[in-house]
Amino acid sequence: MASTFYVVLDQIRKLIDLYALPVIYVFGNLANVINVYVFSRHNMRLNACSRYFVCLSLAHLLLLNISCLTRLIVVWTGHDYAIDSSIYCRMRSYLFNLSILLSRQFITLISIDRWLVTSSSAWLRRQSSPKITQWLIIGSVIFWSLYAMHALIGYGSNPSGCYPSPGTIYSLFSSIDAIMTAVLSSVIMIIFSILTLHNLRLNSIRRIQPSTMQHTLVTVPERQRRSKRNTQFLRLSLLQVLVFIILNSGWTLFAIFSAVSKPATLGLFNTILLVSFLQGFGITLLYIYGTVCIVIEERKN
């Protein structure tokens, strides 16, 4: 028999699915479609980073229209068709995993590209070119498409849903994979945000020094202006990292819980309700991230 606490958690999950998911789905699709249109225009195509933005939005559109839409169908119909079809279950899991991996790949490439374009080294700046970006995008899509194929083998239909069989080696691998990709993406974003800020400060010093010799009076407002821009970039970088960590933490916590839970306890009704809540809440946070992250990224550029 389920305790009141777990029943409340299950009711919260159902309310989120019923009222929050439709809003997230509509606004998420709208924001990412607009972003694809803006960064696909002719005057933006020469910018290497704009291609990463387009790919990031496409990854989020894949997430929303494969995972979020199918969850909405379950809410509206009251039945999960992944229970009936193992092929449908595995394909949905594969595309879900692929969209998450591509999203994290492109958000890290955007962070690295910012460091390249702000570098004082001409060679590093040349690495941020449309040609190199194109090959990185193609390589990323091919690599992660092949890597995510493990979901086609490990996931399967179960009476309560579509997930890896508890207690198996693949279940542990899937949990570790979700944890490591989130942690590594966070670390890379933090490192290259710090390096980019360092480049901006060095560039600011180099630009101010010549003006100091020519016009001493203009150095103070110039320094203040560049200091303000650096401070704004620092705040947006911190916001970017915090949003990524917070909105990816739900799915990571679910992965940790799945990794440390004993198979015998996963069959208990209270545990089933808890797992369902953690999984649903974690995925919903990923949908929200796919909706709002592009707004933060655009403000930094």
Q: Which among 98, 101, 93, 99 is positioned nearest to 153, based on CA atoms?
A: 93
Domain count, the chain: 1
The encoded tokens of residue 147 equal 């890597």
Per-residue pLDDT of the chain (301 residues; tens, 9 = 90+): 457 887 888 899 899 999 999 999 999 999 999 999 988 887 777 788 889 999 999 999 999 999 999 999 999 998 888 888 899 999 999 999 999 999 999 999 999 998 998 888 999 989 989 899 999 999 999 999 999 999 999 998 877 678 888 778 898 899 999 999 999 999 999 999 889 888 888 876 665 555 444 444 445 565 566 566 656 666 766 788 888 989 998 898 888 887 777 665 655 667 778 888 888 999 999 999 999 887 766 665 6
Regarding beta strands 155-158 and 161-164, do their DSSP bridges make them parallel or antiparallel, or are they unpaired? antiparallel
> Across-strand partners of 156?
163
Q: Nearest CA to 86 among 152, 138, 132, 33?
A: 152
Please answer whether residues 190 and 245 qualify as being in contact, where contact means their C-beta atoms are separated by less than 8 angstroms.
no
CATH number at residue 56: 1.20.1070.10
Domain coverage including residue 10: 4-300
**Nearest-CA neighbor of 237 among 188, 284, 178?**
188
